[in-house]
Structure 1
Amino acid sequence: MSHPSTATRLSAAELCARLIRFDTSNYGDGRSAGEHDIASWIHSALKHAGYAAQIVGPEPARASVVLRVPGEDRTLPALLVHAHTDVVPVEPSQWSVPAFAGHIADGYVWGRGATDMKDMVASILRTLLNWAEHDIRPRRDIVVAFVADEESGGEHGAAWLVQHMPELFTGVEVAIGESGGDAIELVANDGTPLRVYPIATGERGTLQLRIHARGTGGHGSRPQADQALTRVIDTCQRINAYEWPLRLTDTVREYIATIDLALGNDPQLDTATGIASSIQRLGSAGEVAEAITRCTATTTVLNAGVKVNVIPASAEAQLDVRCLPGTEDEVVATLVNLIGDDVEWEFLSRCSPVTAPYPSHWFDAMRAAILTQDADAITPPVWLGGGTDAKAFSELGIACYGFAPLTADSAGRRPGGAHGADERNPVEAIDGGQRVLEQFLTHV
């Protein structure tokens, strides 16, 4: 591993490759690898550039790095930019390249974290190094947080910082972080290429449930009427089969309509059929819309039994429920009705939806930064279907946007493999995204 002082000579894409070489796999249940090592490397690179950063966390192995860059006008509200350094584990046999080699080839940076989200870590770091090299101060205070443990809920990362060191974020009004601002390439009906850069103004709420039951155990050859596993499975089936109502928030309506109009269509979003038709026409941008037009509930874990010929006396399941803004209480009431009285249940975690102001001068500044690199960009607002560290930072009253920009690649390469095999990100997209990010952070 090269010395952190070499970071000053590396582009954002090269920094991303270097950071991938730290295996920072997060295995859940409090187990992780490499978060201290990557935090120490980032801290040393920043110290070499003249920054006074802190390594913080609940224990040395779960380290985050935080610093505040003073702005020219310190009376302005501060802005937080955050990115996580941990990654999900890999199955090496599924990869065609070593997952932690940080290899650059064929116009891509390859490796776990290339898209989620060591690209953003690298872009932030490259921006800080550029400021130091050219003696640039941003317009307002910028608080930077490279955080651990996002992939397992942030208990040892963002959530810990919010609970134990909230003073680090004094004066912060707005944050930008994971997802949003990355180019989606489409083709209009007349053949004109379109590049869409959705900017996230919120994300669905996350409700994680555990359902459990006890019943009569016994020999597998003698079925019992009161079987715990059957009751748990039946409950999960009711929840999985439930058709959650179709709902368009103003943000999602604007997202669909803006892109569909740009494609040359006439969106009709007052009926379910019209909405479905528009989403289908959006191509890859429609995949984003699919996840944010309804609440969802998915059974993800089922535990019961120890042997094939033994009826288990207990069983449990875990479900991942995502809710749209304004629907949380309704969703909980629906779940209570679907679950019924045959099983016990409780929340494993409950995080409400996150929203940020739109329209706003913050959003306008993100759009303007994108336009400096891509003058024809289309920049609609969007919601995220999943969850990020924004949920933790929002507890401090911080308005959280999703803005981790990646520009379009001139050869049509696209990021791919997030949470899967052969994760990769175009070099051109990372370096272009870094320029967008620096423009925004410097001038907002």
Structure 2
Amino acid sequence: MPNPDAKAPFAPASTALLTAEDEVARICGELIRIDSSNYGDDSGPGERAAAEYVMAELAEVGLEAELLESRPGRATVVLRVEGADASRPGLAVHGHLDVVPATAADWQVDPFAAEERDGCIWGRGAVDMKDMDAMILANLRELARSGARPARTTTFVFFADEEAGGVHGSHWLVDRHPHWFEGVTEAVSEVGGYSVTVPTPDGERRAYLLQTAEKGILWLRLHAHGRAGHGSVPNDENAIVRLAAAIGRIAAHEWPREYIASVRQLLDGLSTLTQQPYAAGLDPLLATLGGAQGFVRGTLQDTANVTMLDGGYKHNVIPQSASAAVDCRFLPGHEEALLGTIRELAGEHVEVAVVHRDIALEAPWAGSLVESMKQSLLRADPGATVLPYCLSGGTDNKALASLGITGYGFAPLRLPADLDFAPMFHGIDERVPVDSLRFGARVLGDFLRTC
């Protein structure tokens, strides 16, 4: 078994080096072609095939990683590489190998074919997050070929199960194998570092959104109880009606707004960039973000969205029970208040059960790591600006936080102004421009060498 404290072996330097930019599109496409859909119930194919692909790509350049399974097929790959200055605190760079399911009939292309069209690679995971996996893997291969080392000793991880809360991936690894993260103080991962094109008084300017916070997760199940009966007989204890009333109250509830530091800093930066004040109203300012405004709107307050329903089994039978899934996301410090509000809104005949919960995070918009991410972006795109933001979703940084590791979102992509990128997370026709992948591989490599 590889020792995480050992120096990772590197192949001898070659005179004809392939760079990360040269390989990133190939790797991204090959990862997309491996169906690693996560249905949240172990019914999918799992991550094993994708993990074996990562292991083979690393082994080809002389890197010995470890593949760990939390259960059959649920595979995570981990590798530690000694830094140029081993006395500095360690870094974790991580991605996840699973993707959300895709229904082929909804797409313009086969979601697992990685078709290249209009300068983009199309497929499930192109955005979330096999693009970043490919950037990480391509840079590891470049480091190995050149004999170079990252600035800091770095643990690279390709996690299983992020799309179902990381129970069989990041949380399992942190709980069972925390030694891989000894000495690590900071981490970077997905959903940050991508560009939006913002209108300014002088024209347009690219702004890169670097993720410094993310909301917490409460996945709840509503269980409504009532009296079973014949569909032709009046029934004032209909479980489906009780459930519907609870859903209606939850959907109609207006959650109070609160601007946490990351949100306030983003709004201030946007206001300065666009010369649009937001004291009188946010809509015009948020509209400057294009498709990314959805992520930001989701961070202005707590949210609760009904995502699944289950009730009844025959047209002429009133069932005694019905249930619904609710995806709740809360700002830092709001978890108990949100849960209490949902229980109140659900009412006396509807039980609220917690299926999964995880913490909210907020990291400082300051320090050497933040400055390194900013400078790596600005060296590649000197006319741009970099702003912090809070993610309405969640990442595997939540699990690492239990070890005291401060996490950021940094999957750098310079995107075309007309590409509606953010809505493609968990959406249809997911795609990433090849030029954006090459840019990201270059920026991530610069960051790894200078952070």
TM superposition score category, shorter chain reference: over 0.9
Distance 2:113 2:375 in 1: 36
After superposition, the C-alpha distances for 1:371-392 in whole angstroms (9 at most, x for unaligned) are 0110111111100001121212
Instruction: Please tell me the residue identity of whatever aligns with 1:236.
Output: I
> Equivalent residue for 1:263?
274
Select which of 156, 164, 168 maps to 1:152: 164
Q: Which moved more, 1:97-106 or 1:320-329?
A: 97-106
After superposition, the C-alpha distances for 1:216-256 in whole angstroms (9 at most, x for unaligned) are 11111112122222222212211111100111112211101
Select which of 15, 24, 27 maps to 1:12: 24
Do the aligned partners of 1:57 and 1:161 also contact (CA within 8 Å) in 2? no
After superposition, the C-alpha distances for 1:287-307 in whole angstroms (9 at most, x for unaligned) are 332111111111112211101
> Equivalent residue for 1:184?
196
> Equivalent residue for 2:306?
299
> Equivalent residue for 2:401?
394
- Shift in alpha-carbon separation, 1:100–1:277, aligned structure 2, 3 A: closer
Do the aligned partners of 1:54 and 1:65 also contact (CA within 8 Å) in 2? yes
- Aligned CA RMSD, in angstroms, stands at 2.0
Unaligned segments of structure 1, at least 5 residues = none
Query: How far 1:120 sits from its partner (Å)?
Result: 0.4
SS at match of 1:99: coil
After superposition, the C-alpha distances for 1:139-181 in whole angstroms (9 at most, x for unaligned) are 2111000111111222221121112111111111111111000
- Shift in alpha-carbon separation, 1:53–1:403, aligned structure 2, 3 A: same
Distance 1:35 1:59 in 2: 11
Q: What is the TM-score normalised by the length of structure 1? A: 0.93
Query: How far 1:282 sits from its partner (Å)?
Result: 4.1
Select which of 210, 222, 247 maps to 1:211: 222
SS at match of 2:105: helix
Select which of 417, 423, 432 maps to 2:430: 423
After superposition, the C-alpha distances for 1:402-439 in whole angstroms (9 at most, x for unaligned) are 11111234x85564744233221100001101111111
Distance 2:290 2:424 in 1: 19
> Equivalent residue for 2:56?
44
Query: How far 1:52 sits from its partner (Å)?
Result: 1.8
Distance 1:8 1:268 in 2: 48
Q: Which moved more, 1:103-112 or 1:168-177?
A: 103-112
The reply to whether residue 31 of structure 1 matches residue 38 of structure 2 is no
SS at match of 1:57: strand
> Equivalent residue for 2:128?
116
SS at match of 1:257: helix
> Equivalent residue for 1:239?
250
Distance 1:264 1:210 in 2: 44
Do the aligned partners of 1:150 and 1:158 also contact (CA within 8 Å) in 2? yes
- Shift in alpha-carbon separation, 1:335–1:98, aligned structure 2, 3 A: closer
Do the aligned partners of 1:220 and 1:309 also contact (CA within 8 Å) in 2? yes
Select which of 108, 122, 125 maps to 1:96: 108
Do the aligned partners of 2:95 and 2:190 also contact (CA within 8 Å) in 1? yes
Q: Percent identity?
A: 40
Q: Which moved more, 1:273-282 or 1:56-65?
A: 273-282
The reply to whether residue 278 of structure 1 matches residue 291 of structure 2 is no
Q: What is the TM-score normalised by the length of structure 2? A: 0.91
Query: How far 1:98 sits from its partner (Å)?
Result: 2.1
Distance 1:268 1:421 in 2: 32
Query: How far 1:441 sits from its partner (Å)?
Result: 1.3
The reply to whether residue 377 of structure 1 matches residue 384 of structure 2 is yes
The reply to whether residue 63 of structure 1 matches residue 104 of structure 2 is no
Instruction: Please tell me the residue identity of whatever aligns with 1:38.
Output: A
SS at match of 1:28: coil
The reply to whether residue 75 of structure 1 matches residue 82 of structure 2 is no
The 5-angstrom pairing of residues 164-203 of structure 1 reads 164-190=176-202, 192-203=203-214
Do the aligned partners of 2:196 and 2:290 also contact (CA within 8 Å) in 1? no
Do the aligned partners of 2:296 and 2:391 also contact (CA within 8 Å) in 1? no
